[in-house]
Amino acid sequence: MRSFATLGFLGAAALAAASDVHDLKTDTFKPFVEKHDLVLAEFFAPWCGHCKALAPEYEQAATTLKEKDIALVKVDCTEETQLCQDQGVEGYPTLKVFRKGSYDAPSTYPGQRKADAIVSYMTKQSLPAVSAVDSKTIEDFKTQDKVVVVGYFAADDKTSNTTFTAIADSLRDSHLFGATNDAALAEKEGVKQPAVVLYKSFDEGKNTFSDKFDSEALTSFIKTSATPLIGEVGPETYADYMSAGLPLAYIFAEEQSERDDLAKELKPVAEKFKGKVTFATIDAKAFGQHGDNLNVKVGKWPAFAIQEINKNQKFPYSQDEKITAKSIEKFVNDVVSGKIEPSIKSEPIPESNDGPVTVIVAKNYEQIVMDDKKDVLVEFYAPWCGHCKALAPKYEELGALYSSFKDKVVVSKVDATANDVPDEIQGFPTIKLYPAGKKDSPVDYSGSRTIEDLATFIRDSGSHKVDVVANVKKEKSEEDDEDEVAKATGDMPQQAMAASETDKGTAEKVTDKVKEAVEAVVTNLNDDEGGEADVHDEL
């Protein structure tokens, strides 16, 4: 038995030694990063569940990317505390991309925590915005990713080249871009200069853009063509659907065979509305809870709903009606033409709303928050959120301070899990101030959750400059409140509590223009650990 144990220990040691992920310390991190052209760094904690789930994927990606001279490293934040603080780490795991010469300006890795996604993203980062291709490399380039975009221009066509390069630079995180001035190659590919061809591993295989080179039109073409006619919404595809910028029509069904049948039935409808609405199936067994975000009755499948991402609007199709090509075509047409009002999830308007903190629901949101005569502070909270519970008594005290200024300042709260709100909510609690006369420019609060700091924020960021700071009683610091938060959340050590909690109906965010409902989708689709849907474990 002893010999087996020894062999097991030696085997584990050999595996650790053979790792392609570099384990860095405070004194080795900066020299290593500055030495390499491109580095992906994971800041983790040994107790972090999401870090453990990422580990094998990260290792696999490191092995693949090693061949491309792209280094993957990791830093244990429980040991290298100051380094992680300097890097602005607020949760685990945090992944950051470092480029040579820009140590102080890393970017956050926005993709999935899967080996393929990491390899794809980092490969794109290693290439120039536009790679030069020719007759010898074009075929290989086409297969480098699911979607590649190639521009065919004459060498002296500066306008087309400039437009294409600018678009490639803005979309480089999503797709590979190449270009050639070989007229013979363009002819072989069936296009005439100037033109852009998007090659893809699905649907018809490629799409061609030969219209006038307008930046907006070309960008729209790329985003639309890169999205499958009817694909499947899942962790690996969600970001692509969001970046397309079109309303997303979900086809919910529990079995793959039923999703396939519905996709076949609705394919003509998807073709008719291509460029206006994107269609996708979604596994109702795995991600059915997202139906609640779309105001669809969970458990009653199949179901169909449209989500207008940019406006955070939901349009559920009646679950009492059968899903057919004819009925869905009419429904989609009515949504697109504005004949159907969006569905709004809202709690009842409170019969009495005279407390120090005004209660907002979806039905009175516009009336209260958009009152242009008042500075309105809004806390977006979730009933399960430990930090929200810890804040509650202080928030009530804050509201009471403005009892003599109700004509100028409103302190309010809204349960963002029970009410549709038009704001982008990435975590709980989220606090925003909507100043009088500037409702289109809300101010996000990122300070300490103390009464004094919140009152100072209202004074400094509000239009009325109401000052009640002098009336604030001495209070406990945020550090003193950690015990209360720990009791509320229950599963993290005190030193590991984060400044905010992400929506437990949502997980990895994706992308930067996502509204609150979109955040909910990302969570449902990307939860690595089933019951825990946080983007990352709390600090």
Question: Which active-site residues does the annotation give?
Answer: 48, 51, 385, 388
How far apart are alpha carbons 274 and 396 in whole angstroms? Answer: 50
DSSP state of 471: G
Query: At 432, is the secondary structure helix, strand, or coil?
Result: strand
Q: Where are the alpha helices (DSSP H) in 372-418?
A: 386-401
How far apart are alpha carbons 111 and 120 in whole angstroms? Answer: 9
Given a contact cutoff of 8 angstroms between Cβ atoms, the answer to whether 110 and 56 are in contact is: no
How far apart are alpha carbons 213 and 193 in whole angstroms? Answer: 11
Span between the terminal Cα atoms of the chain, in Å: 40
Q: Mark residue 218 as left, alpha or beta (left: phi above 0; alpha: psi -120 to 50; beta: remaining).
A: alpha
Query: At 322, is the secondary structure helix, strand, or coil?
Result: coil
516 backbone dihedrals φ, ψ, rounded to 5°:
-55, -45
C-alpha distance from residue 334 to each of 263, 296, 339 (Å)? 20, 18, 5
Query: At 480, is the secondary structure helix, strand, or coil?
Result: helix
The first and second tokens of residue 505, run together, are 């109906």
C-alpha distance from residue 25 to each of 3, 102, 369, 391 (Å)? 34, 19, 48, 36
| Amino acid residing at 295 | N
Burial 278-298 (b: 16+ CB within 10 A, else e): bbbbbbbeebbbbbebbbbee
How far apart are alpha carbons 191 and 402 in whole angstroms? Answer: 67
Q: Residue 372 CB: number of other CB atoms within 10 A?
A: 12
Given a contact cutoff of 8 angstroms between Cβ atoms, the answer to whether 437 and 372 are in contact is: yes
How far apart are alpha carbons 99 and 128 in whole angstroms? Answer: 13
431 backbone dihedrals φ, ψ, rounded to 5°:
-120, 130
Instruction: Say which residues have a Cβ less than 8 Å from residue 456's Cβ, sequence separation at least 6.
Output: 447, 469
